[in-house]
Chains A and B, each alone.
Chain A
């Protein structure tokens, strides 16, 4: 509703009944002050909101670990932004904070019950070696060490030849 005296939003609404005749008055904050109404200095809703926000602000978290994954370099901040982890090692890197996040998302569950991966320890050993060689190969290509890259490629090929 607009102020009776200008185009601004009315904040004071007064209804007067005199001798059976009803008159309405709507005034903006400036015209209301001019007319002698006293307005509260601060809006109570804003006050409430501010005190609510102050109360719910989290206390600074004690740092338990450097919050960066040693294996892939992902920061905990980057994870919080996207919700996506960088590599399997991130799980251990971001404990115990990540554990609490998982527990909340999983209705309180904190441990896997169920299937375990098949395959032998030998398979795991070979594949771990293979992943390491791949990592080295990538680094060699980036550093333009082509001889080293070629020998790494041969090593990977010979691992593959013996794969199950």
Chain B
């Protein structure tokens, strides 16, 4: 937790003009135990012990602690709330998992690209994040962990239904692929609803910036698969890498070209208003900052704004409340102090807004 910006969220990967991050999550449970919601504190402690032991004895354990993929165990009951929020802001644990007082833990890879949540809705939630559209890297990293643990843990498996999960909507492969897309031109041109409907026809869920039930902020959208039964892991990977993502990237890039040639002023207006506020505001809420940084990001990808994309990515993470506290502890003193620290951070980074 001492190195603030190794997180995949603040890095730049392939197709970063449209794809912000790619994530793969695998749900697994250990046979013979009730699912987490029905497990007593004793059973939950036992699950923690069994999983921790399996990790330590695996090639990902302490023996290879220097490797970037080595997993380090963090007991969340012994972790300060501020640190748990940091992990949630980096998408390494879910928001629900950050709160509460049930026995639970997370094993984090040294490079902060992978995590294993233990005693989430399922006993194990293995997930890997990759910058941009490097979805295959996320697949490989998640399955490397799954395979190392599979040799040491007896995963609940049904001969016909596959891997058994607490919620039957995850049964089968237990895979959830989740890509964070930036689609400002499709939003501006009004085509976003058509794209959303087309995605839903392909059994994809389209959600907002903070995931389930949230609205889109800054034109960021999460697109994820909804089906986990009837398609193999490889075909899910292929569907995303070869069909779904190239199509969505193509739609957005075409829309950018179209809005830039047909309504350049409205693009410039949106972008330069945003960068002007970012460079001048004295108080900024997290939502407003995210919204404006989304517009600035659009400007960067259209070569209207000369700020590195990595700066925008870093700011999108740093404007979150717990990360602001790392930069200046005063941020946690009052709501106004938080907004002031955020505005100062953004202003200093956005001093050269326009061409």
Taking Cβ atoms with an 8 Å cutoff, the residues of A that contact B are: 72, 74, 82-88, 91-92, 98, 101-102, 105-119, 123-124, 127-128, 130-132, 134-135, 138, 141, 160, 163-164
Contact flags B19-31 to A (C-beta < 8 A → 1, else 0):
0000000000111
Instruction: Provide the residues of chain A in CB contact with B243, threshold 8 Å.
Output: none
Are A112 and B160 neighbours in the complex by a CB distance under 8 Å?
A: yes
Q: Report Cα–Cα, A106/B293, bound state, in Å.
A: 37
Q: Is the CB of B85 closer than 8 A to any CB of chain A? A: no
5 tightest Cβ-Cβ pairs between the two chains A and B: A131-B32, A109-B230, A112-B162, A127-B154, A88-B156
Are B57 and A109 neighbours in the complex by a CB distance under 8 Å?
A: no
**Which residue on chain B has the smallest CB distance to residue A156?**
B46
* A115-B173, A123-B152, A134-B33 known; A72-B38 Cβ under 8 A: yes
| A117 CB, min distance to chain B CBs, angstroms | 5
Q: Report Cα–Cα, A160/B54, bound state, in Å.
A: 10
Are A138 and B154 neighbours in the complex by a CB distance under 8 Å?
A: no
Are B151 and A105 neighbours in the complex by a CB distance under 8 Å?
A: no
| A144 CB, min distance to chain B CBs, angstroms | 14
Instruction: Provide the residues of chain A in CB contact with B167, threshold 8 Å.
Output: 83-85
**Which residue on chain B has the smallest CB distance to residue A138?**
B42
Instruction: Provide the residues of chain B in CB contact with A134, threshold 8 Å.
Output: 32-33, 43, 46
Q: Report Cα–Cα, A72/B35, bound state, in Å.
A: 10
Q: Report Cα–Cα, A130/B35, bound state, in Å.
A: 16
Q: Report Cα–Cα, A13/B203, bound state, in Å.
A: 49
Are B162 and A114 neighbours in the complex by a CB distance under 8 Å?
A: yes
Q: Is the CB of B280 closer than 8 A to any CB of chain A? A: no
Are A88 and B168 neighbours in the complex by a CB distance under 8 Å?
A: no
B:136-174 near A, CB below 8 Å: 147, 150-158, 160-164, 166-169, 171-173
**Which residue on chain A has the smallest CB distance to residue B169?**
A105
Instruction: Provide the residues of chain A in CB contact with B152, threshold 8 Å.
Output: 119, 123, 163-164
Of A84, A114, A135, the residue contacting B37 (CB under 8 A) is: A84
Q: Is the CB of B227 closer than 8 A to any CB of chain A? A: yes
Are B164 and A102 neighbours in the complex by a CB distance under 8 Å?
A: no
**Which residue on chain B has the smallest CB distance to residue A88?**
B156
| A72 CB, min distance to chain B CBs, angstroms | 5
Instruction: Provide the residues of chain A in CB contact with B171, threshold 8 Å.
Output: 91, 102, 106, 112
Are A114 and B231 neighbours in the complex by a CB distance under 8 Å?
A: yes
The prevalent SS among residues of A at the interface is loop
Q: Is the CB of B121 closer than 8 A to any CB of chain A? A: yes
Interface size class of B (residues with CB under 8 A): 35 or more
Q: Report Cα–Cα, A1/B167, bound state, in Å.
A: 50
Are B154 and A119 neighbours in the complex by a CB distance under 8 Å?
A: yes
B:7-57 near A, CB below 8 Å: 29-35, 37-38, 40, 42-43, 46, 50, 53, 57
Q: Report Cα–Cα, A119/B147, bound state, in Å.
A: 9
Instruction: Provide the residues of chain A in CB contact with B31, threshold 8 Å.
Output: 88, 124, 127-128, 131
Question: Which of A91, A115, A116 lies at the interface centre, i.e. has the most chain B CB atoms within 10 A of its CB?
Answer: A115
| B233 CB, min distance to chain A CBs, angstroms | 5
* A98-B168, A113-B230 known; A87-B151 Cβ under 8 A: no
* A119-B152, A131-B31 known; A112-B38 Cβ under 8 A: no
* A86-B38, A102-B168, A163-B53 known; A123-B158 Cβ under 8 A: no
Instruction: Provide the residues of chain B in CB contact with A86, threshold 8 Å.
Output: 34-35, 37-38
Instruction: Provide the residues of chain A in CB contact with B232, threshold 8 Å.
Output: 113-115
Are B229 and A87 neighbours in the complex by a CB distance under 8 Å?
A: no
Instruction: Provide the residues of chain A in CB contact with B163, threshold 8 Å.
Output: 112, 117
* A84-B166, A98-B168, A164-B57 known; A117-B230 Cβ under 8 A: no
* A102-B171, A109-B230, A131-B32 known; A164-B151 Cβ under 8 A: yes
Question: Which of A101, A110, A127 lies at the interface centre, i.e. has the most chain B CB atoms within 10 A of its CB?
Answer: A127
| B193 CB, min distance to chain A CBs, angstroms | 22
Instruction: Provide the residues of chain B in CB contact with A102, threshold 8 Å.
Output: 161, 168, 171, 229
Are B29 and A101 neighbours in the complex by a CB distance under 8 Å?
A: no
Contact flags B162-191 to A (C-beta < 8 A → 1, else 0):
111011110111000000000000000000
**Which residue on chain A has the smallest CB distance to residue B172?**
A112
Q: Is the CB of B228 closer than 8 A to any CB of chain A? A: yes
Can you name 13 extra interface pairs (CB under 8 A) apart from A107-B227, A160-B53? A74-B38, A82-B37, A87-B35, A91-B168, A92-B158, A98-B168, A102-B168, A106-B171, A114-B162, A117-B155, A117-B163, A128-B31, A163-B53
**Which residue on chain A has the smallest CB distance to residue B203?**
A107
Are A88 and B227 neighbours in the complex by a CB distance under 8 Å?
A: no
Q: Report Cα–Cα, A113/B230, bound state, in Å.
A: 6
Are A141 and B154 neighbours in the complex by a CB distance under 8 Å?
A: no
**Which residue on chain A has the smallest CB distance to residue B155?**
A117
Are B164 and A111 neighbours in the complex by a CB distance under 8 Å?
A: no
**Which residue on chain B has the smallest CB distance to residue A128?**
B32
